[in-house]
Amino acid sequence: MSTTSIETRQLSLSEWSDVLPDSGTEVFHTAPALEAVDAHTDGELRLYGGFKGEQPVALLPVFVDRKAVGRVVTSPPPSMGIPRLGPLLLANSPKQRKRETVNHGFTAEILDDLSVGARLTLFRVVCPRAYADPRPFQWNQLEVTPEFTYVLDLDDVTDDTVMDPFSRSLRNEMRRGEETDVTVGIEGRGAAKRVWESVATHFEDQGMHPPIEWPFVRDLLEALPEHHRVYVAREPDGSFSSGIVVLYSDDTAYYWLGGITTTYDGVSVNSLLHRTVIEDIVEEPQLESITRYDLVGANTERLCQYKGKFSGDLVPYYVVESAGPEMSLAKGAYNLTDR
């Protein structure tokens, strides 16, 4: 397969922003999100672009860090609650052969530039949902593992029909919740910190370190003022019950942070939160471009028992990583698999 027509070069954040397409990307691919991530990780951010002439055909952000086990290349970096990052293919040719050529050529050049074949270089990439062909990584002796998320298709539905696919128990719970005195609203940064604190406390109670640090959450939300909402459920006395932080790309809402299990009058407060998020996507004109709700993960059996009740599409994505004992050691030592 010919790879000679792809020119690969590193980009600045402004150049990245200029070539990033307006649709088909995930929220963490945007320049403001990457800049916030870069400020809170020790790794060096490298933004790779593949071009045919002046036309961008592929993009990949990676973070390069040095650890005791060697040089570690990740996308996304670990322990930041970023579900996926990885490569974007922008080639819009209808011909499968041409798309494969771009994918193969860009992947080969990136792996060469990063010296991924070197013994002391460890590589781990969690690909976006839209990246459907990880074979070039396999052909370069990397391991590829499918993982899954649930995605609700909210295009062409109304508030009257959106719950039709939900399980009977979830529909009943949401309807009972509407009769309680719990209120759900959109709040600001103070509420975001309260949501984070609920997550941190939950993990600390189980003897674990919180999965995301508050300064990163704070700075990310400040960097994405038009691309996030903080939904908070409050009891009749105004006290905090539960909350979630939702992030938005051009076409997808992501359930990102929060949702610690809470009940009120026997009703799951999280169901009320999700119901409000979904209602807003379906009804609000300012969210007209949002047609999907990604529940961010369908890989933990216990959590899937609840998430599966929404009857979302089970969508695969791919984890690409170095093989061998060094990678196993790194995953244990540096929490490379935090999602």
* Domain parsing of the chain, residue ranges: 7-142+322-334, 151-315
Helix (H, G, I), strand (E, B) or coil at 90: coil
At the second CATH level, the architecture of 151-315 is 3-Layer(aba) Sandwich (3.40)
pLDDT class of 325 with cuts at 50, 70, 90: low
Is residue 70 over pLDDT 90? no
Which pTM was predicted? 0.93
Residue 138: C-alpha distances to residues 64, 73, 107 (Å): 21, 17, 11
In the DSSP assignment, the letter for residue 125 is E
Cβ-contact 167, 305 below 8 angstroms? no
Superfamily of domain covering 7-142+322-334: Gcn5-related N-acetyltransferase (GNAT) (3.40.630.30)
- Give φ, ψ of 64 to 5 degrees: -110, 120
Mean pLDDT (whole number) for 75-88: 96
Confidence at residue 338, expressed as pLDDT on a 0 to 100 scale: 53
pLDDT class of 2 with cuts at 50, 70, 90: very low
Write b or e for each residue in 46-76: b if 16 or more Cβ atoms lie within 10 A of its Cβ, otherwise e.
Answer: bbbbbbbeeebbbbbbbbbbebebbbbbbbb
The number of CA neighbours under 13 Å toward the Cβ of 95 is 4
Mean pLDDT (whole number) for 56-77: 93
244 burial class (0-12, 13-18, 19+ CB within 10 angstroms)?
buried
Q: Do domains 7-142+322-334 and 151-315 have the same CATH topology?
A: yes
Is residue 3 over pLDDT 50? no
For 274-296, write each residue's pLDDT tens digit: 999 999 999 999 999 999 999 99
CA distance 85 to 129: 9
Confidence at residue 119, expressed as pLDDT on a 0 to 100 scale: 83
For 34-61, write each residue's pLDDT tens digit: 999 999 999 999 999 999 998 999 999 9
In the DSSP assignment, the letter for residue 6 is -
For 209-251, write each residue's pLDDT tens digit: 998 999 999 999 999 999 999 999 999 999 999 999 999 999 9
Confidence at residue 6, expressed as pLDDT on a 0 to 100 scale: 87
CA distance 288 to 19: 24
- Backbone dihedral region for residue 156 (phi beyond 0: left; psi -120 to 50: alpha; all else: beta): left
